[in-house]
Amino acid sequence: MVEYYQRFYKKQYRAKVKQLIVDLKRLLTLEVIPCIKDDEIVLNTTFKQNLKDNEWLELNKMYATLFKNKDLLSPTLLKFINKNSDTTKANKFRLIDTFAGCGGLSLGLKRVGFQPVLINEIEAKFLESYYFNHDISIENYYCDDIKNLIDDEDIHKKYFKNIDLVVGGPPCQGFSMANRQRIIDDPRNELYRYFLRTLKLVHPKFFVMENVKGMMNKADEIKENFKAILGSDYTFGITLLNAKDFGIPQNRERVFFIGSRMEIDAQKIIEDILREKKTAKKFKLKDAIANLPALQPKRIKNTKGLENDEIGYKFRKVKMRPNSYSKFVNEGANYEYCFNHTNRYNNDRDIEIFARLPQGANSLHPSIADIMPYKSRNHVFKDKYFKLNENEVSKTITSHMKFDCNMYIHPNQPRGLSPREAARIQSFPDDFLFMSSNNNWYAQIGNAVPVKLAQIIGKHIIKHLS
């Protein structure tokens, strides 16, 4: 990971390395691997940057320990070692992922046989998780604005050839029915235009654009935009998919726009995807989170880095009894670690509200009327608090959880959902570790395409390439 921090965290490099040392110490302790005591320098000296001498020596001890015990390391610890797999000349079906985030869409597509050869994301704190969880060389990552990607001819020559699939979810603010301006002309939709320009330059065999439900209001206009940019080479299809219909315990509606320049019509691909609803097993919230360790509320404020059995850990070795849902998201595997399962601080009033509310109730419930802090604006804040019902699917997991989880109260424990619980609901496998700060874990998870839904979409595209 040190090479990622050197390249993409220049101003925060020292802070990132200090956290890296903390993480490695924790994992080496859990795996009972003693840290080497010699002051041997095993890393390239370019990685020293602005580190103090003692920090530089500590970092080298960590990596010397990893290198010399490579055969003993768990898959988790191995991921901290530099990535060497350059996928530019991959023989598999080649994928470009734009607006990639932490990589939920890519992970689902990889599972069916696509190989990311270029990953574009402007936020280094999101891309950090993508990089950690995949053995892909740092040269395959473009951590910058998609506008600069469009203008980078060296990137075009190296990565834009023979691409099978381009995916992305460009933010589009100007799509409401009330807005009479064309989407492509609205200045708020600049990234949407750059996504179209990327498709024109790459000319992939297929593409997928994911976006919010409101984009369905402009379906015909979107098709016109794509036809105007890409010409008559492609057929187009657009559909609204709800994750709960495909085995994901979450009421999450998103628009997917698919383009094909192969013999198969894009609309036929969508019909095949929709047919999956008939056979998908329907899971509930309790299926997703019931076998994770119980946590107590975190009542101590300003305790960054505090971890224990009560409030949880970033890394925890625990045997979780697998159920049908964990087997579903883990593809049958059973992992020895539980990642990112930790609590955030809540004050005593909120914890009391969490405890009193029955499942399925919101801020208007009489059980909390005497302590509800927003009585005068109940009509506005009716969902300020919401306790999830374990016998139903979850409400949509969103990036708002980075601010608070008051709308995502655990059905049986007086606290908000942990990042791992949110990730389970988004169908991330248990071995996917979210990097960066705790609040950013929620943002990454909320912005992602559910992994298992991405897998279904990819399955019905790749069969026309095989």
What pLDDT digit, counting tens, does each position of 358-405 carry? 999 999 999 999 998 876 666 566 778 999 999 999 999 999 999 999
Q: Per mean pLDDT, which range of 301-315, 372-386, 433-447 is the poorest?
A: 372-386
CB atoms within 10 A of CB 389: 17
pLDDT at 425: 98
Write out pLDDT tens, residues 269-302: 999 999 999 999 999 999 999 999 999 999 998 8
Q: Look up residue 174 and give its two tokens.
A: 């100007």
pLDDT at 215: 84
pLDDT at 218: 82
Cα–Cα distance, 303 to 377 (Å, whole number):
32
Cα–Cα distance, 328 to 335 (Å, whole number):
13
pLDDT band at 55 (very low <50, low <70, confident <90, very high): very high
pLDDT at 10: 87
pLDDT at 326: 96
pLDDT at 305: 83
Q: Taking all residues of the chain, what is their mean pLDDT, rounded to a whole number?
A: 92
pLDDT at 243 over 60: yes
pLDDT mean over 216-234:
89
72's enclosing H/E stretch is: none
pLDDT at 186: 67
pLDDT band at 90 (very low <50, low <70, confident <90, very high): low
CA-CA-CA-CA torsion sign (319, 325, 328, 332): positive
pLDDT mean over 436-455:
95
pLDDT mean over 306-324:
93
| Percentage of the residues of the chain whose pLDDT score is greater than 90 | 80
The verdict on whether 172 is a catalytic residue reads yes
Higher-pLDDT residue of 186, 131: 131
Alpha helices (runs of H) in 203-347, residue ranges in sequence order: 219-230, 266-275, 285-289, 324-329
pLDDT at 377: 62
Question: How far does Cα 385 stand from its chain's mean position?
Answer: 25
3-state DSSP percent of the chain in helix, strand and coil, to 5: 45, 15, 45
Half-sphere exposure of 385 (CA within 13 A, CB side): 31
Cα–Cα distance, 455 to 462 (Å, whole number):
10
pLDDT mean over 422-434:
97
pLDDT at 83 over 70: yes
pLDDT mean over 132-160:
93
pLDDT band at 74 (very low <50, low <70, confident <90, very high): very high
DSSP state of 238: E
pLDDT at 379: 59
DSSP states along 350-376? HHHHHHHSPTT-BTT-GGGTTT-TTGG
Q: Per mean pLDDT, which range of 42-46, 81-85, 213-217, 348-352 is the poorest?
A: 81-85
**Nearest-10 crossing angle of helices 219-230, 190-202:** 40
9 by DSSP, 3-state: which?
A: coil
pLDDT at 185: 66
Alpha helices (runs of H) in 183-323, residue ranges in sequence order: 190-202, 219-230, 266-275, 285-289
pLDDT at 304: 83
pLDDT at 290: 94
Among candidates 370, 417, 368, which has minimal Cα distance to 390?
A: 417
Alpha helices (runs of H) in 31-137, residue ranges in sequence order: 53-68, 75-78, 104-112, 124-133
The residues, any chain, with a CB within 8 Å of residue 58's CB and separated by 6 or more, are 21
pLDDT at 84 over 90: no
Active-site residue, selected from the candidate residues 35, 102, 143, 172: 172
| Percentage of the residues of the chain whose pLDDT score is greater than 70 | 94
Half-sphere exposure of 426 (CA within 13 A, CB side): 31
Identify the top-confidence range among 185-194, 214-223, 385-394: 385-394
Q: Look up residue 166 and give its two tokens.
A: 């381009």
Beta-sheet strands, E only, within 222-347: 235-242, 253-260, 312-317, 337-342
332's enclosing H/E stretch is: none
pLDDT at 171: 81
116's enclosing H/E stretch is: strand 114-120
